[in-house]
Amino acid sequence: MEWLPRAEMRLEDSGAPVVIIDTSLALSPFGLLTTLRLAAADAEVWLTPSLWRRLDEASIEGRYPGLKPSNGEEADAEQRAIVAQWERARLDLGSKPIYWSSDGIDESSLPKGLDASVIARFDSLKAALASACESADGPIEDGDLDSLILSAALTERATAIITLQEDEGENAAPDLVDLANTFGVTCKRLSASAARPLLQHWWRPLLLRAGLMEFFATGGLNVACLRLIAPGAMFFDTEPEDDAAEVLRNWLGGAHVIWSAM
């Protein structure tokens, strides 16, 4: 039986918010702008591994998975523009507080003081989840859950995930929340009164510095904030020896997602 050690978290922490940009938001027309603005406002911004894979598929194979569905030449032009913007920005992201985990340390960008164990944690958590949920491995392999898995890999840090909330109905939840529900995650929406201090004291100063407050407040971009609480991700068996240990592999099944609209 082998448990996965925690990632080394004794880094030079400036106290900056740790924000994960969900792939759905990153591949929207305002995804890159939001990413760069938050990084310039002193947030520690993380991108998902699936973002780079989808961008590579788009630029090399002309496929646009995860981007806005094509509805003619105008939509195709928008998709191409999103990919082109990310490809241009990709060369300069290393000089900004924008990070990601990839296939190896050479292809990853990690904060100073955070070692490659976070990459191993992400890969192992993703593999364990796929093993426990073989009937639903599509979303896992496609990277739809990458932002939640990345948050679990950084579980000792107070990460916040920003994702699109395309359906504006009163009881509508973001697609990421709906997907988490299908994996047995307990998802709860904060009441307006409970969300107000979070927005006022955590998000508002950051969004004001980033010049995004007015844009978000007027519905220019409908997003939601998620926090993952996943105690099963801290110590779980990568080589379970019995049926009871197998339950631990589905670490996401015992997790909670708390979310609110922004």
Q: Give the residue, 95 or 245, on which the prediction is more confident.
A: 95
Band (pLDDT 50/70/90 cuts) for residue 208 is very high
Angle between helical axes of 73-90 and 49-61 (0-180°, round to 10): 120
pLDDT at 1 over 90: no
Band (pLDDT 50/70/90 cuts) for residue 101 is confident
Band (pLDDT 50/70/90 cuts) for residue 131 is confident
Q: Closest Cα to residue 184, out of 241, 137, 253, 128? A: 253
Q: How far apart are CA 212 and CA 55, in angstroms?
A: 25
- The tens digit of pLDDT for each residue in 215-252 reads 988 888 889 999 999 887 876 555 555 554 455 566 77
Least reliable range by pLDDT among 10-19, 74-83, 93-102, 170-179: 10-19
Residues 23/54, Cβ–Cβ less than 8 Å: yes
Q: How far apart are CA 78 and CA 170, in angstroms?
A: 29
Q: Closest Cα to residue 258, out of 195, 216, 182? A: 195
| Per-residue pLDDT at 170 | 67
Band (pLDDT 50/70/90 cuts) for residue 187 is very high
| Ramachandran assignment for 167, one of left (phi > 0), alpha (psi -120 to 50 degrees), beta (any other) | beta
Mean pLDDT in residue range 112-121: 81
- The tens digit of pLDDT for each residue in 132-161 reads 676 555 777 778 889 999 999 887 788 999
Mean pLDDT in residue range 64-79: 60
Residues 56/2, Cβ–Cβ less than 8 Å: no
108: phi then psi, degrees, rounded to nearest 5: -105, 165
